[in-house]
Structure 1
Amino acid sequence: MTNASEPMVNWAELIRTAGQRHAARIAIIDSGRSISWGELDAAADAGAADLLESGSHRGDRALVALPSSADLVLTLVATARAGLVAVPVDPHRADLATVAARVGARLLLVADGSPEVAGVSTVFAAADLRRWWTAHRAPVSAVGGGEDLAVLARASRSYRAVMISHHAVLAAVAAATGAPGSRLRADDRAVMALPVHHLAGLVTAFLPLAAVGAAAVFPEVDPAGGDLSGLPSLIRSAKVTIIPGSPGVYRALLATEGVERALASVHLMTSGAAPLPSSDFSAIRAVTGQHVWEGYGISESTSVVASSLVTARSRAGSVGCALGGLEIRIDSGTGDAAGDEPPGVPQDPGSRVGTDGGVDALDGNLADVTGMGDVGRISLRGATLFSGYWPDGADGPGEDGWYCTEDVGYLDDLGELHLVDRADETFTVSGFTVYPKEIEQVLAAHPDIAAAVVGAVPGTGSKPARVVAVLSARAGVERPGVQQLQGYVAARLPIFKRPTEFAFVDAIPLTELGRQDRVAALGLAGFVAGGRSVAVLGSVRPTAVRAAQPESAAAAPGVDSAVPSPDDQDATADPTPHDADGRADAEPFEPTAPERGPEQAADLDSLGGRLPGAGNRRARSLSDDDDDLFGSEYS
């Protein structure tokens, strides 16, 4: 057993230390049951012993498919203590065999039943977990640690899994707890609104509580399922003091009658997984008198990279500054296809973030480290970074320690990071780079629109790409028509950014962290049907696109296609010719934005239309996707 005075090398030692220092304090409240840190530590010993006695060996992969709960926490601690590599996935997945084969899993830990999974020699189910909670076993010394692989994140995705070491987990927890504004207390209770099978729930929301002996409160319904209806009453009844959330969490809270009473006990609210809309940011402040502190991170960084908890105040649109031990720099280009600089972005060549050499050129567009204010790729360096992609650790941080992400952002004059969009989700219309988030924000500001997702149908021949939009209407209102939408965007966007096709769905699909799922939304609306592949990610990863609905968007259930016909125009719409199928022929698009005054660098809405293009994706960040932590609401 590890001496508490010795430096930790295995992240399960966080629970060992909490079990020793805060043995009687509540660690978990789940379905009315209270579990102390001492009980969690002892149960993890029983689990680790069982795992080791099953014939498992250090480094074996254990596929964990459990709801976000006390059992999931216990299982993850036990696998780490036994020296196994946890592969946590959404328990609702039906393709466990595929995931197991992808990572070569030898063990499976599930809530119910014993599914037949080829290659898996050992299965632990609900009965085994119940026994761990009550068994009395001798303490188990942690097996392995340091740079040993501890977690494979995103293994259920169609692209490469992220290799996270014990060292990275420990560094991420230290960085999160060291944020000046976190102010964790022993009597705190944090609601687990983020699923623990995701690094956001485990490393960002749960593990920091072990440092002070605070408690985690689990909803009765797994948040990965998207049902947050019971969250307000749980927060109130359990006297929750901390909400590590996402925009979806705050949207659900704001929709609850009496939300101010439900949040009366809360003293800290954080938001990640996507930028919090400024309207929700302001509404929460108006209701509670408190700020929501936003952050940013990706699975490749294990946890949070930047947070406004590091800054003196929380500002809408800012995700703050880098946590302790982490560095952020912007790797940017020189402008759009015409060679112009981004308008309104302050240039300060003498003020640079990071001084090492630049990154590989992206079609000559994104290269070299830039001055504060430039827009470009966000690059990271620090101890929390991953070890590379499974199985061989390829394409991890470079020799200089820097990792170039697929997120685009800029640093304002206070040094705070702002997110713009995903580099691989941008597209080009008539030679101009378009960031879908900007258009989505304009559409979502329409009084009758609840949410919007934007993509592009690639052009054919000499025709440029066409911008398309998938919308959901606010409850109780009539869906706006095509002419109204065309007039609305015509007054707010330059012509090459205006959607030429619209489709309504009942609700925009969300990821497990509550972020809008662009690929799924565009597929649901039929924009990927009939061979019309949508350039949502620059070039679509076919395996990442959900199954398309019937051939036409109009025929898809729950979808109301609003495609303008040649005669469906009004005085406010563009006099754009249409081809035979009624879709706008964007050939005559004139890439000229309406005249504007000086733009403010700190306002995403006014970043302008001529920002640097993404070019070809850099191999190192080919698989980076922030369906992860505190990034964009873009995947």
Structure 2
Amino acid sequence: MPQCQALLRRDDDAPEVGCVGENLAGLVRAAARARPGRPALLFRSERITWADIDARVDRAAAALLGLGLHPGDRVAVQLGNTPHFAVAYFGTLRAGLVSVPLNTGYTGRELQHALADSGARALITSDTGAALAGAAKDTLPDLEHVIIAEGGRPGDALPHFDDLLAAVPGTSVRDVGGGEDLAVLIYTSGTSGVPKGAMLSHRALLANLDQVSRIEPPVLGRDDVLLLVLPLFHVYGLNPGLGMLAYHGAAGLLVERFDPHDTLALVARHQVTCVLGAPPMYVAWSKLPELSDGLASVRFALSGSAPLPAEALRQIAEGTGLTVFEGYGLTETAPVLISTLMSDVPKPDSIGRPIPDVDIKLVDEQGDEVDEDDHGEIMVRGPNLFSGYWPDGAGGPGADGWWPTGDIAFADEGGDLHLVDRRTELILVSGFNVYPREVEIVLLAHPEVAEVAVIAVPDAMTGEAVKAVVVLRSGAALTPEAVITHCEKSLARFKCPSVVEFATDLPHTIIGKVRKGQLRSTAV
């Protein structure tokens, strides 16, 4: 049975690729058959077609199997937004292997943890990553192959990815495995602890692509050009980005590093029609005088990973006429769950409604559904959920299919969801619940506050107290007392910060989330 097949659009005879098979790599094969000469990836001066990508994926699969790897073995892919990543990722999956995407900014300690924990037998990386892995080789008994795909070359003792591909016959390789087989082992960001490997099957990844493709109006189509600037090693860039690109056989503009001016110029030059971004991108763009011209070709803009400030939303809407749609998802859900694309009208500070084939309910601490407007933990159910955490599947969905996200939200009278906070970030002040996000929203309304993070600190009298770490706008001169007074106008006293610290900036993950774990570790 073929893994994937072209699905015909109702309005014409041009194939929209889609997938009805089991192996995610089958999307590449289907795109190559349906649109062989159409561009798949635009990178620097290269224009790589779907037929070319498919042939490279075949070679990558053959090369990895030629190293003696077997279906189910883990292959770590630590690469930036380059064609090498796409080829290594889909080649790993086509061979029935498990892809382990790793952050290119990992320190030696972080890389060692991911490689050791996953038991990766191969690592495809840069010369920098190879050096870090080499320094930790005595603690990595499973790691047999380190392959350089970026950097290095002259006199390298290690094999180069391109050389391995060139050494194998250019013959078609059948997709191995799929369905419930493990496809991707992706490590959570670790903002509040040691990263854990979330086990995503082919089923989960393909299900989420199908769910997003059923949103109306369509997020992406075969004639679109998608901006791929979010890191492909992150689940948001990996599946809604690279995966969705293959699902539709569209074209993707690969950008290795976001720069507000340069990336906006690339968007205009390549006539990008769909932008998949994170809040820091839109905030930076909203301040540029060339915003309108730079985004003139864009018909769809999406943001995820963290709340997008209302002011940036407003500035982009006024400057370009674009509505930036927001969404909510998690690594464990492949990742999209909720989007303002599903709302009647997108609302500021709302994450929207569930996407097709995703069930959501809000529950209290006893597991009972909460009343309208009450806060509750988001429980989710759907075919896009993960299979638990590596290696034994612990922490996955229950027997009834429901999985607790750990995030707190409420539904307004129109049915739109509003994210409040992480359950694990809840602050207990004298037994009263304080949700950091509620305090942050109040503080961000102050005209002199640029950014803020609210965390818990120990308190001898109340158990925990509220601490606000505040970044001021240029030229601002707020005092801690003024910050607290501002909060007292909108919040009950127990919710107001008792400790205020000013900082020049906040630590962030690569996609813009504040690293509250880092702030807590240094809190006093």
Aligned to 2:513: 515
**Correspondence 1:149 to 2:164:** no
Q: CA deviation at 1:310?
A: 2.4
Distance 1:490 1:372, change over 3 A: closer
Determine the structure 1 residue equivalent to 2:467: 468
Residues 438-453 of structure 1 aligned to structure 2 (within 5 Å): 438-453=438-453
Q: Is this contact kept in 2: 1:451–1:473, CA < 8 A?
A: yes
Q: Which residue of 1 aligns with 2:497?
A: 499
Distance 2:40 2:172 in 1: 19
TM-score normalised by length of structure 1: 0.73
- Contact 2:409/2:417, CA 8 A, preserved across alignment: yes
Q: Deviations over 1:602-627 (max 9, x none)?
A: xxxxxxxxxxxxxxxxxxxxxxxxxx
Aligned with 2:173 (options 123, 140, 152): 140
Q: Tell me the number of residue pairs that the alignment of Structure 1 and Structure 2 aligns.
A: 488
Where 1:369 maps in the other structure, the secondary structure is coil
Which of 144, 169, 172 is residue 121 of structure 1 equivalent to? 144
| Secondary structure in 1 matching 2:319 | helix
Residue 313 of structure 1 deviates from its aligned partner by 2.9
**2:196 maps to 1:160:** yes
Match of 2:262 among 207, 230, 242: 230
RCO higher in structure (CA 8 A, sep ≥6): 1
**1:71 aligns to 2:84 (yes or no):** yes
> Is contact 2:327–2:336 with CA below 8 Å preserved after alignment?
yes
Q: Which amino acid aligns with 2:84?
A: D
Partner-residue secondary structure (3-state), 1:150: strand
Deviates more, 1:462-471 or 1:286-295: 462-471
Q: List gaps (5 residues or longer) in structure 2.
A: 6-18, 154-159
Q: How does 1:227-626 map to 2 (within 5 A)?
A: 228=260, 230-332=262-364, 365-460=365-460, 462-475=461-474, 477-523=475-521, 526-527=522-523, 532=524
Within 1, Cα distance between the matches of 2:170 and 2:410?
Answer: 52
Distance 2:189 2:418 in 1: 29
Alignment map for 1:75-114 (pairs within 5 Å): 75-95=88-108, 96-112=111-127, 114=130
Secondary structure, counterpart of 1:485 in structure 2: helix
SS at match of 2:502: strand
Q: Secondary structure of the equivalent of 2:185?
A: strand
Deviates more, 1:311-320 or 1:19-28: 311-320
Which structure is higher in helix share?
2
TM-superposed deviation, 1:492: 2.8
- Output the amino acid matched with 2:263: L
Deviations 1:438-465 (A, max 9, x none): 11122222222110011121122x4442
Q: Distance in 2 between matches of 1:493 and 1:301?
A: 34
Cα distance in 2 between the residues matched to 1:287 and 1:395: 45
Listed one character per residue, the Cα deviations across residues 75-103 of structure 1 (whole Å, up to 9, x for unaligned) are 11011011111111111212322221111
Contact 1:30 1:220 in 2 (8 A): no
Distance in 1 between the 2:216 and 2:429 partners?
44
Q: Distance in 2 between matches of 1:186 and 1:390?
A: 35
Report SS of the residue matched to 2:72.
Answer: coil
CA gap of 1:131–1:481, structure 2 versus 1, over 3 A, is same
Structure-2 separation of matches of 1:384 and 1:166 = 9
| 1:191 alignment partner, SS class | strand
Separation of aligned partners in 1, 2:87 and 2:338: 28
Aligned amino acid, residue 508 of structure 1: L
Root-mean-square deviation (CA, aligned residues, Å) is 2.0
- Residue in 1 that maps onto 2:15: none
- Cα drift, residue 19 of structure 1: 1.1
Bigger shift: residues 256-265 or 174-183: 174-183
Check conservation: 1:182, 1:309, Cα contact below 8 A: no
Tell me which residue corresponds to 2:56.
43
CA contact (8 A) 1:305 1:322 kept: yes
How much has 1:132 moved relative to structure 2?
A: 6.5
Q: Deviations over 1:488-541 (max 9, x none)?
A: 223232221221222222211111111222223444xx41xxxx4xxxxxxxxx
Q: CA deviation at 1:9?
A: 0.9
Contact 1:103–1:155 under 8 Å retained in 2? no
Distance of aligned partners of 1:498 and 1:307 in 2 relative to their CA distance in 1, 3 Å threshold: same
Evaluate the alpha carbon distance shift between residue 133 and residue 55 of structure 1 in structure 2; reply closer, same or farther with a 3 A threshold. closer
Paired with 1:285 and 1:3, the residues of 2 have a C-alpha distance of 42
Q: State the partner residue of 1:56.
A: 69
Given the superposition, is the C-alpha separation of residues 229 and 506 from structure 1 closer, same or farther in structure 2, using an over 3 Å criterion? farther
**Percent of aligned pairs with the same amino acid:** 35
Mean Cα displacement is larger for which, 77-86 or 201-210? 201-210
Cα distance in 1, alignment partners of residues 245 and 217 from structure 2: 15
Distance 1:374 1:441 in 2: 18
Contact 1:232–1:256 (CA<8 Å) still a contact in 2?
A: no
Which of these two proteins has the greater Rg computed from alpha carbons? 1
Distance 1:122 1:133, change over 3 A: closer
The one-letter amino acid of 1:259's match is: L
- Residues 299-349 of structure 1: per-residue CA shift (max 9 Å, x gap): 1111201112223332222222222221111112xxxxxxxxxxxxxxxxx
| Inter-partner Cα distance in structure 2 for 1:423 and 1:4 | 40
* Distance in 2 separating the partners of 1:183 and 1:485: 41
> SS of the residue aligned with 1:367?
coil
1:189 maps to 225
Shift of residue 172, structure 1, vs aligned partner: 0.9
Match of 1:206 among 233, 239, 242: 242
Counterparts in 2 of 1:133 and 1:251: CA distance versus 1, 3 Å: farther
- How far apart are 1:393 and its partner, in Å? 0.6
CA distance in 2, matches of 1:69, 1:471: 36
CA distance 1:410–1:463, shift in 2 (3 Å): closer
Q: Where does structure 1 lack aligned partners over 5 or more consecutive residues? A: 333-364, 533-635
Distance 2:117 2:3 in 1: 37
1:155 to partner: Cα distance: 6.0
In 2, the alpha carbon distance for the partners of 1:281 and 1:211 equals 29
> Structure 1's 470 and 182: CA in aligned 2 closer, same or farther, altered over 3 A?
same
Query: What secondary structure is seen at the aligned counterpart in 2 of 1:124?
Result: strand
Deviation at 1:59, TM superposition (A): 0.5
Q: 1:510 to 1:182 in 2, by over 3 A?
A: farther
Mapped partners of 1:182, 1:108: distance in 2: 36
Amino acid at match of 2:203: H
What's the CA shift for 1:228? Answer: 4.7
**CA distance in structure 2 between the aligned counterparts of 1:156 and 1:452, rounded to whole angstroms:** 20
Q: Using the alignment, how far apart are the partners of 2:485 and 2:186 within structure 1?
A: 44
1:154 positional shift: 1.1
- Cα distance in structure 2, aligned partners of 1:427 and 1:156: 22
Q: Is the 8 A contact 2:305 2:328 kept in 1?
A: yes
Tell me, yes or no, if the aligned pair for 2:212 and 2:219 is still in contact at 8 Å. Answer: no
Tell me which amino acid in the other structure corresponds to 1:152.
L
CA apart distance, 1:376: 0.3
The letter of the residue matching 2:518 is A
In the aligned structure 2, how far is the partner of 1:522 from the partner of 1:233? 39
8 Å CA contact 2:81–2:229 kept in 1: the answer is no
Cα distance in 1 for partners of 2:182, 2:49 equals 28
